[in-house]
């Protein structure tokens, strides 16, 4: 099954930002495009807006004037659904209401031929449920573009329960022919990206609700230690708190209120107050003109220890040992090569976040996971109230000697980056085990759809397949609400590796 021929007309129904973007993508790819909107006059306004964007592409030398003129000639606004007759693909981008979408597609079936592909750009509704209202549901598929559609490469090609393989394949190949990077997935709440990404927001909000760190500090740690493009608070301010919360609530409800997808009460209060982010001038941050952005918590300078004693290789943080030596600090090897910690001259221990609390131990400081300890510019530390001030100071001074800013946060299990990455890996492994998508497509979706520095399976290979499950096990021990209980899929994922390694 191949992509649609470029001579095949493509229709877009709904001419908001997303509809216009999808229409522009199809138009620039070379298709005749028809625009329809139920509101009178909006299709023509959308065509004018797309024409203006084509002008800007010429100015940026991404299109020639001849290509622009040809594209404009292929763009046709229509005033009635009947104007979409003869189209080979219709993509819907109207309001996120199941009844509205079902009614639209039922009406479209009376207009287009039975071999016309019908597609929804929904991000939160069930493709199966929308297509269930159709006379020919096999030709119905999800084509979930990301905003702005002309710029972002990812398209989730979603097969509903009744979608024919040939229809999904044609939609996939068409998206690829349009210059996009398609990933195939089954119809599941949130598809790939909006399902697997929930912990990125949820764990940041949970740390905030526990009063362990403020938004600016959490965001700084996610960026400067975790390697994420933006922190959770600033990203949701950009997306819109109402939009982000709506997706979270939709996924939570679709999974029968599974505690792992539970929405944040703090975000609910933000939405209720009308602080929706940049679009209203205030969200987690104040975006009004002249407002000063709060600085993350950064520890005052402290003296580094003269030496550290390494007990074990530090696991995922092993590269720290080389950095410590390069900073001129002596690394002594423990006689018994057990554990994964550093012992400081104070007698206290410096331990990579493992899901436990510092409060459980006599004198422990935890440090957070980093994407790359050499390149990280900030490291988070956490400790209990009874941890000795000398141990905290030496731990702080050690990372400062490595050229890192240090943010000291409250004593929360899994800290910030570690708990976030562990939960993302868990949801990704479960999605693959349930046949939602392949490991490769999940990684591609998370890198391209939300700009993660690594896909979940890339993280897992770097950290070790058993790492996420071990950390979540400890978090579940501390907080047995069910939110952090590792999935059965994650357990099997880790055990399969162990068994292969044990095979002679």
Active site residues: 123, 144, 156, 194
Strand ranges, E, within 227-370: 307-311, 330-333, 341-343, 349-352, 364-367
Cα–Cα distance, 283 to 422 (Å, whole number): 27
Cα–Cα distance, 67 to 330 (Å, whole number): 64
Cα–Cα distance, 35 to 33 (Å, whole number): 7
Instruction: Provide the phi-psi class of 146: left if phi over 0, else alpha when psi is between -120 and 50, else beta.
Output: beta
The token pair that represents 340 in the structure block: 């994964």
How many CB atoms within 10 Å of residue 360?
13
Sorted by sequence, the CB contacts under 8 Å of residue 496 that are 6+ apart come out as none
How many CB atoms within 10 Å of residue 106?
12
Q: Contact, 434 vs 389, CB < 8 A?
A: no
- Which residues sit opposite 156 in a β-bridge? 144, 183
Cα–Cα distance, 196 to 477 (Å, whole number): 23
Q: Contact, 159 vs 168, CB < 8 A?
A: yes
Cα–Cα distance, 325 to 214 (Å, whole number): 33
- From the number of C-beta atoms within 10 Å of its C-beta (0-12, 13-18, 19+), residue 290 rates as exposed
**CB burial readout 429-463, b (16+ within 10 A) else e:** bbbbeeebbebebbbbbbbbbbebebbbbbbbeeb
Q: Contact, 457 vs 401, CB < 8 A?
A: no
The DSSP code for 282 is: B
């Amino acid at each position: 099954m191949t992509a649609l021929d470029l001579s095949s007309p493509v229709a877009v129904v709904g001419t908001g930002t997303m509809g216009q973007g999808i229409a522009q993508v199809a138009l620039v790819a070379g298709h005749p495009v028809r625009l329809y909107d139920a509101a009178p006059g909006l299709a023509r306004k959308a065509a004018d807006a797309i024409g203006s964007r084509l002008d800007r592409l010429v100015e940026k030398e991404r299109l020639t004037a001849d290509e622009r003129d040809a594209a404009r000639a292929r763009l046709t606004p229509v005033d009635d659904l009947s104007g979409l007759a003869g189209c080979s693909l219709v993509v819907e981008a109207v309001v996120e209401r199941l009844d509205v979408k079902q009614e639209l597609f039922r009406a479209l079936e009376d207009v287009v031929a039975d071999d016309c592909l019908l597609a929804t750009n929904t991000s939160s509704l069930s493709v199966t449920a929308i297509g269930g209202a159709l006379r020919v549901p096999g030709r119905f598929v999800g084509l979930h573009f990301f905003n702005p559609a002309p710029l972002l490469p990812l398209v989730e090609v979603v097969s509903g329960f009744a979608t024919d393989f040939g229809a999904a394949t044609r939609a996939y190949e068409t998206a690829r022919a349009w210059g996009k990077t398609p990933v195939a997935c089954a119809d599941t709440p949130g598809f790939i990206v909006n399902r697997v990404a929930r912990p990125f927001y949820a764990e940041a909000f949970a740390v905030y609700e526990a009063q362990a760190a403020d938004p600016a500090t959490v965001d700084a740690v996610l960026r400067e230690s975790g390697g994420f493009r933006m922190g959770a608070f600033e990203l949701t301010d950009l997306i819109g708190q109402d939009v982000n919360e709506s997706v979270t609530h939709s996924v939570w409800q679709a999974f029968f209120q599974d505690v792992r997808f539970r929405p944040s009460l703090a975000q609910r209060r933000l939405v209720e107050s009308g602080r929706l982010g940049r679009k209203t001038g205030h969200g987690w941050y104040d975006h009004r003109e002249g407002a000063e952005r709060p600085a993350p918590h950064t520890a005052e300078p402290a003296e580094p220890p003269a030496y550290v004693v390494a007990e074990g290789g530090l696991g995922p943080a092993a590269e720290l040992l080389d950095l410590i030596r390069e900073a001129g600090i002596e690394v002594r090897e423990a006689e018994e090569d057990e554990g994964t910690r550093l012992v400081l001259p104070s007698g206290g221990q410096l331990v990579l976040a493992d899901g436990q609390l510092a409060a459980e131990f006599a004198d422990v400081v935890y440090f957070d996971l980093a994407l790359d300890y050499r390149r990280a510019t900030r490291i988070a530390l956490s400790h209990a109230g009874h941890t000795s001030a000398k141990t905290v100071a030496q731990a702080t001074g050690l990372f400062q000697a490595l050229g890192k800013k240090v943010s000291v946060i409250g004593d929360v299990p899994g800290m910030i980056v570690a708990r976030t990455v562990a939960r993302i890996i868990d949801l990704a492994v479960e999605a693959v085990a349930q046949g939602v998508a392949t490991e490769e497509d999940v990684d591609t979706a998370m890198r391209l759809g939300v700009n993660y520095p690594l896909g979940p399976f890339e993280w897992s290979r770097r950290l070790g397949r058993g790492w996420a499950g071990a950390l979540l096990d400890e978090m579940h021990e501390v907080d047995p609400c069910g939110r952090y209980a590792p999935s059965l899929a994650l357990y099997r994922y880790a055990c399969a590796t162990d068994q292969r390694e044990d095979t002679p």
